[in-house]
DNA sequence: AGCACGCCGACT
DNA sequence: GTCGGCGTGCTC
């Protein structure tokens, strides 16, 4: 009796922004191997090949189309754990995006396959007897292909045209070329060439014989002696298997040619050895630091709340030694055989904290950072799966790593806005971390000196536990904060450029004492705009509705939204006036002024422009650490994680601008930024000083900053949020409508707001024009939907929104608009 | 998101 | 006539 072969189908999650699964047929020979959560390669569309993840396996052929065959299975075992899929699915629903978009963010690109379409000459093609007519372009391409196989992009480059598809199709139809797909695994293990003795020579007699015969060839002899020195096979024949790196042999006067000869003669053999990209941490791990009494108390309190399965907020002032508490908790988690994840904002990761953790956790610690290459990320991924890594310090995307037994999640600088991703899936790593903890039944700790209003609300109202460390480590006093009134200084003529006399005096005094100074100006470039003195003309971006920022070091005008670059005009384009003024203050201008006022001081600038290169950031930090830099000027970057003993003065320049940003979170953000940067001042026994230049010295936020009263500030904000129905009293979904045509954009937004207005129990704000109303030639309109916090079925509202969207996109006139849903916008 | 198709105006 | 622009629809 012949056995019936079952036909299997699988529903595949693909990394594309289409909210559904795609069904493929499983070739019969894979029937025994196919597994849920394996990676698979599938054809997609006419010429694409994608890596997807199998989500379901079944036997139901699709009704209304013929399923394509999947091409291959990539992993003998699943690549994702069910917990990861759970997180992905939750995220897609919660943040209103396609699961494929989440998958795209979740898989390191080294695990996604690249497929490249290649063009090859048909070997059967006869140049002398082509059989068809070819255009000149076609001929030149055919000749080019005589010797090389080209990718599509190569062909486009070679011909100098964008669209090559029809040309290639024509060539293919005339049997002159072949089109093929090359699929390759992107991840490549790092290989290092090694050498060792061929097997037959690992015998004493044979080796002695060899040396006798080679005595007349000094170069070869030298090579062999060197190899022997590194691989003493006389004494330890078994060591030969390990081989030694080739680059250890070819040093100084050892001849590579002689080595090659020996390899050719099969005396030595050469082979590739896969080596990890991360240097094994060889030093003996240090013992974790001993906690102070206060820290021990805090750690115990946290563990108590963990017992109650509550997330915990660790509220400790800057410099209170949160890191030691983290280390203690991580150690405990690892000791109980669970994995630990420490999330840090992007730039905090490059600083001292990682080094400290590495010293303590050694090879059990993985670091996951955006500056790592694809290959390095895959190695972290695999290290976790293999159980080598027990703890990861990483940026927001590390929540997607393949943990199967997560016991502890710590989100440091919990309030940091960079935890929210500003492209799909627009997730917030702190909130996703809370969900991840739920999925793993893990404990989660949120740490901050300036907690977000939301977190603080939950922590003080009992939803979360709260542990406070109110004093600085080693009893360093909190810095003294002083406000410098700019308007008054102007009146008294005690101002020089952007500096009030008081600021200059403070800096002078600090420099005299050989102390370092940090100046904070949250705006890069030289000046945010330039203006013609005669007619008031301000150069604007041609794609966006913003003024162009003048960058002196590039001597050009730059759009910070789309990257548009323009030359600095020599005269006003509008009235030909020659007097173009640089208006406003950026880090470059501040740097220039500082150099004028303090010509002998070492000055460094730290912003996006000076840290873009891989070494930029660490160079700046290093020279500051070594005391080569006296004055460090920077944007947000200087507010985070820099611990330097010799900084006692911090100057803040644009507090006003942050304060008056039109957003319900602006006070919160200003308070956080100023408090954080203040925390850089005075980390030892000496009291640090913070000088803030402002036009509004009476602003209430400054009162809280000066008193270092985080709790009072947050309570004040909570009241404010309650009065205005903002989070945590409501949930927000921001809807952005985009279109190149202003009228269409406005009309669609109006229609949309009209619809959302009819959703029960919610409030709609807008449509309103955002501060930058046009970006990359698309007009923007924002609608803000406020949903009561305790609204039961948030998902039903989201479903409703998606329905409204599809209704809008069905309208002939408005279908081309783009709609972006941003759940819990920043 | 890509990518191809198809329709349109602008040129050799 | 072809090239290349952009709007539209589809991807198992």
**What are the pLDDT digits (tens) for A590-646?**
888 889 888 888 888 888 887 776 677 778 888 888 888 888 898 888 777 677 778
Residues 733-752 of A with CB under 7 A from strand C: 740
| pLDDT score of A349 more than 70 | no
Answer whether any strand C atom is within 7 A of the Cβ of A22.
Answer: yes
Answer whether any strand B atom is within 7 A of the Cβ of A17.
Answer: yes
Q: In the structure, how far is the CA atom of residue A733 from the C1' atom of nucleotide C7, in angstroms?
A: 30
| pLDDT computed for residue A161 by the predictor | 65
Q: Distance between alpha carbon A157 and the CA centroid of its chain, in Å?
A: 31
| pLDDT computed for residue A716 by the predictor | 95
Question: Nearest residue to C11 (CA, C1')?
Answer: A45
- Rounded-to-integer distance, Cα A51 and Cα A82, Å: 18
Alpha helices in A513-601 (DSSP H): 587-597
Answer whether any strand B atom is within 7 A of the Cβ of A462.
Answer: no
Region for residue A601 given its phi and psi (left: phi exceeds 0; alpha: psi -120 to 50; beta: otherwise): beta
Q: Which residues fall within 8 angstroms of residue A703, CB to CB, at 6 or more apart?
A: none
Q: Which residues fall within 8 angstroms of residue A104, CB to CB, at 6 or more apart?
A: A15, A16, A112
Q: Which residues fall within 8 angstroms of residue A312, CB to CB, at 6 or more apart?
A: A302, A305, A306, A443, A444, A445, A446, A459, A464, A465, A466, A467
Question: Nearest residue to B5 (CA, C1')?
Answer: A166
Long-range contacts of A217-221 (CB under 8 A, 24+ apart): A217/A258, A219/A255, A219/A257, A219/A258, A220/A258, A220/A261, A220/A262
Nucleotide nearest to A24 (CA to C1'): C12
Handedness of CA A183, A188, A194, A196 (dihedral sign): negative
Q: What is the dihedral of CA A274, A278, A281, A287, to 10 degrees?
A: -140
| pLDDT computed for residue A165 by the predictor | 60
Answer whether any strand B atom is within 7 A of the Cβ of A266.
Answer: no
Per the listing, tokens 């602006």 go with A666
Instruction: Sort strands A495-496 and A499-500 into parallel, antiparallel or unpaired.
Output: antiparallel
Chain C positions with an atom below 7 A of a protein C-beta are: 3-5, 7-12
A225's tokens: 């002696």
Answer whether any strand B atom is within 7 A of the Cβ of A166.
Answer: yes
Q: In the structure, how far is the CA atom of residue A162 from the C1' atom of nucleotide C6, in angstroms?
A: 15
Residue A275 burial (10 A CB sphere; 0-12, 13-18, 19+): middle
Three-state secondary-structure class, residue A562: coil
Q: Higher confidence at residue A178 or residue A603?
A: A603
Q: Higher confidence at residue A186 or residue A356?
A: A356
Answer whether any strand B atom is within 7 A of the Cβ of A423.
Answer: no
- Rounded-to-integer distance, Cα A478 and Cα A283, Å: 36
- Global pTM? 0.84
How many C-beta atoms lie closer than 10 Å to residue A19's C-beta?
13
Q: Higher confidence at residue A401 or residue A491?
A: A401
Is the bond leading into A425 cis (omega within 30 degrees of zero)? yes
Q: What is the dihedral of CA A105, A110, A112, A116, to 10 degrees?
A: 130
| pLDDT computed for residue A210 by the predictor | 79
Handedness of CA A673, A665, A97, A413 (dihedral sign): positive
Three-state secondary-structure class, residue A641: coil
Is the bond leading into A728 cis (omega within 30 degrees of zero)? yes
Mean pLDDT of the residues in chain A: 86
Answer whether any strand C atom is within 7 A of the Cβ of A67.
Answer: yes
Q: In the structure, how far is the CA atom of residue A324 from the C1' atom of nucleotide C9, in angstroms?
A: 57
Name the range with the highest mean pLDDT among A67-81, A428-442, A686-700: A428-442
Residue A258 DSSP class: H
Stated as kind and residue range, the H or E segment containing A605 is: strand A603-606
| pLDDT computed for residue A574 by the predictor | 82
**Full 3-state SS string of A656-672:** HHHHCCCCCCHHHHHHH
Question: Nearest residue to C8 (CA, C1')?
Answer: A816
Answer whether any strand C atom is within 7 A of the Cβ of A161.
Answer: yes
| pLDDT computed for residue A162 by the predictor | 56
| pLDDT computed for residue A645 by the predictor | 76
| pLDDT computed for residue A115 by the predictor | 56
Nucleotide nearest to A67 (CA to C1'): C12
**Phi then psi for A108, rounded to 5 degrees?**
-60, 140
Per the listing, tokens 């996951």 go with A368
Nucleotide nearest to A424 (CA to C1'): B1
Q: Higher confidence at residue A252 or residue A67?
A: A67
| pLDDT score of A473 more than 70 | no
Q: Higher confidence at residue A217 or residue A665?
A: A665
Answer whether any strand C atom is within 7 A of the Cβ of A65.
Answer: yes
Q: In the structure, how far is the CA atom of residue A813 from the C1' atom of nucleotide B5, in angstroms?
A: 22
Identify the weakest region by mean pLDDT among A14-28, A69-83, A139-153: A139-153
Q: In the structure, how far is the CA atom of residue A749 from the C1' atom of nucleotide B8, in angstroms?
A: 30
Answer whether any strand B atom is within 7 A of the Cβ of A162.
Answer: no
Q: In the structure, how far is the CA atom of residue A162 from the C1' atom of nucleotide C8, in angstroms?
A: 20
Nucleotide nearest to A43 (CA to C1'): C12
Nucleotide nearest to A104 (CA to C1'): B1
Answer whether any strand B atom is within 7 A of the Cβ of A218.
Answer: no
Of A482, A497, A490, A450, which Cα lies nearest the Cα of A650?
A482
Alpha helices in A174-285 (DSSP H): 204-214, 218-230, 246-249, 256-264
Q: In the structure, how far is the CA atom of residue A148 from the C1' atom of nucleotide C9, in angstroms?
A: 36
pLDDT tens track for A370-402: 778 788 888 899 999 989 999 999 999 999 999
Of A465, A464, A436, which Cα lies nearest the Cα of A339?
A436
Nucleotide nearest to A9 (CA to C1'): C12
Residues 26-55 of A with CB under 7 A from strand B: 45-48
- Rounded-to-integer distance, Cα A51 and Cα A48, Å: 10
DSSP letters along A215-233, please?
A: TT-HHHHHHHHHHHHHS-T
How many C-beta atoms lie closer than 10 Å to residue A14's C-beta?
23
Q: In the structure, how far is the CA atom of residue A44 from the C1' atom of nucleotide C10, in angstroms?
A: 11
Answer whether any strand C atom is within 7 A of the Cβ of A133.
Answer: no
| pLDDT score of A167 more than 80 | no
Of A670, A667, A771, which Cα lies nearest the Cα of A726?
A667
Question: Nearest residue to C7 (CA, C1')?
Answer: A816
Per the listing, tokens 């997609």 go with A44
| pLDDT score of A578 more than 80 | yes
Q: In the structure, how far is the CA atom of residue A122 from the C1' atom of nucleotide C10, in angstroms?
A: 31
| pLDDT score of A463 more than 70 | yes
- Above pLDDT 90, what percent of chain A? 35
**Phi then psi for A619, rounded to 5 degrees?**
-60, -45
Nucleotide nearest to A117 (CA to C1'): B3
Nucleotide nearest to A65 (CA to C1'): C12
Answer whether any strand C atom is within 7 A of the Cβ of A18.
Answer: yes
């Amino acid at each position: 009796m012949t056995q019936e072969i079952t036909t299997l189908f699988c529903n595949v999650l693909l990394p594309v922004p289409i909210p559904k699964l795609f069904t493929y047929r499983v070739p019969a020979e894979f029937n025994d191997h196919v597994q849920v959560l394996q990676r698979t390669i599938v054809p997609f569309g006419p010429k694409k090949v994608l890596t997807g993840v199998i989500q379901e396996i079944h036997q139901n052929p699709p009704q209304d189309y013929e399923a394509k065959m999947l091409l291959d299975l990539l992993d003998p075992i699943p690549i994702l754990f069910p917990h990861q899929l759970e997180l992905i699915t939750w995220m897609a629903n919660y943040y209103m995006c396609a699961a494929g978009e989440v998958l795209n963010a979740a898989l390191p690109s080294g695990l996604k396959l690249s497929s490249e379409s290649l063009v090859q000459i048909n070997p059967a093609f006869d140049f002398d007897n082509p059989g068809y007519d070819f255009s000149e372009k076609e001929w030149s391409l055919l000749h080019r292909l005589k010797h090389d196989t080209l990718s599509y992009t190569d062909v486009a480059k070679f011909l100098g045209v964008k669209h090559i598809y029809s040309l290639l199709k024509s060539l293919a139809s005339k049997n002159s070329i072949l089109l093929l797909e090359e699929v390759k695994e992107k991840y490549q293990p790092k290989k290092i060439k090694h050498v060792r003795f061929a097997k037959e020579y690992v015998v004493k007699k044979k080796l002695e014989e060899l040396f006798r015969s080679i005595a007349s060839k000094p170069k070869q002899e030298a090579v062999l002696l060197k190899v022997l020195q590194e691989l003493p096979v006389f004494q330890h024949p078994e060591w030969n298997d390990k081989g030694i790196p080739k680059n250890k042999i070819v040093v100084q006067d050892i001849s590579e040619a002689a080595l090659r000869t020996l390899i050719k003669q099969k005396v030595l053999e050469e082979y590739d050895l896969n080596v990890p990209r991360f240097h094994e941490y060889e030093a003996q791990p240090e013992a974790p630091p001993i906690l102070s009494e206060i820290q021990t108390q805090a750690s115990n309190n946290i563990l108590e709340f963990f017992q109650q399965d509550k997330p915990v907020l660790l509220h400790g002032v800057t410099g209170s030694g949160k890191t030691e508490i983290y280390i203690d908790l991580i150690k405990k988690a690892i000791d109980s055989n669970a994995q630990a994840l420490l999330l840090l904002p992007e730039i905090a990761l490059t600083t001292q904290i990682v080094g400290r953790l590495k010293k303590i956790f050694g090879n059990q610690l993985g670091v996951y950072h955006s500056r790592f290459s694809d290959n390095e990320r895959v190695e972290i991924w695999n290290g976790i799966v293999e159980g080598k890594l027990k703890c990861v310090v990483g940026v927001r995307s590390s929540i997607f790593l393949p943990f199967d037994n997560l016991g502890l999640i710590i989100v440091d600088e919990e309030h940091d806005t960079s935890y929210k991703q500003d492209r799909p899936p627009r997730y917030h790593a702190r909130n996703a971390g809370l969900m991840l903890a739920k999925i793993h039944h893990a404990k989660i700790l949120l740490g901050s000196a300036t907690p977000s209003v939301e977190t603080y609300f939950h922590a003080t109202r009992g939803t979360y536990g709260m542990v406070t460390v109110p004093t600085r480590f080693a009893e360093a006093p909190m810095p003294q904060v002083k406000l410098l009134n700019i308007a008054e200084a102007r009146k008294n003529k005690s101002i020089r450029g952007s500096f009030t006399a008081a600021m200059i005096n403070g800096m002078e005094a600090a420099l005299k004492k050989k102390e370092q100074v940090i100046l904070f100006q949250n705006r890069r470039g030289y000046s945010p705009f330039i203006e013609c003195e005669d007619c008031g003309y301000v150069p604007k971006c041609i794609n966006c509705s913003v003024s162009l920022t003048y960058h002196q070091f590039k001597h050009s005008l730059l759009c910070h939204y789309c990257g548009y670059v323009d030359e600095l005009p020599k005269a006003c384009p509008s009235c030909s006036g020659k007097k173009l003024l640089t208006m406003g203050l950026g880090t470059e201008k501040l740097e220039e002024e500082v150099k004028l006022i303090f010509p002998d001081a070492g000055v460094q600038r730290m912003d996006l422009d000076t840290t873009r290169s891989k070494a930029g950031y660490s160079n700046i930090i290093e020279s500051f650490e070594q005391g080569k830099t006296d004055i460090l000027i920077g944007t947000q970057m200087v507010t985070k994680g820099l611990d330097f003993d010799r900084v006692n003065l911090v100057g803040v320049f644009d507090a006003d601008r942050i304060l008056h940003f039109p957003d319900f979170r602006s006070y919160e953000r200003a308070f956080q930024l100023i408090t954080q940067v203040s925390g850089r001042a005075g980390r030892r026994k000496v009291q640090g000083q913070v000088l803030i230049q402002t036009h509004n010295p009476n602003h209430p936020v400054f009162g809280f900053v000066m008193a270092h009263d985080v709790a009072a500030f947050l309570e004040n904000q909570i009241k404010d949020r309650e009065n205005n129905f903002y989070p945590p009293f409501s949930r927000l979904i921001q809807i952005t409508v985009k279109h190149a045509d202003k009228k269409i954009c406005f009309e669609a937004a109006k229609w949309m707001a009209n619809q959302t207005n009819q959703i029960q129990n919610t409030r709609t704000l807008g449509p309103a024009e955002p501060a930058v109303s046009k970006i990359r030639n698309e007009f923007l309109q924002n609608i803000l939907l406020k949903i009561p916090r305790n609204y039961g079925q948030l998902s039903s509202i989201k479903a409703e929104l998606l329905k409204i969207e599809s209704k809008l996109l069905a309208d002939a006139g408005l279908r081309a608009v783009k709609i972006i849903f941003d759940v819990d916008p920043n």
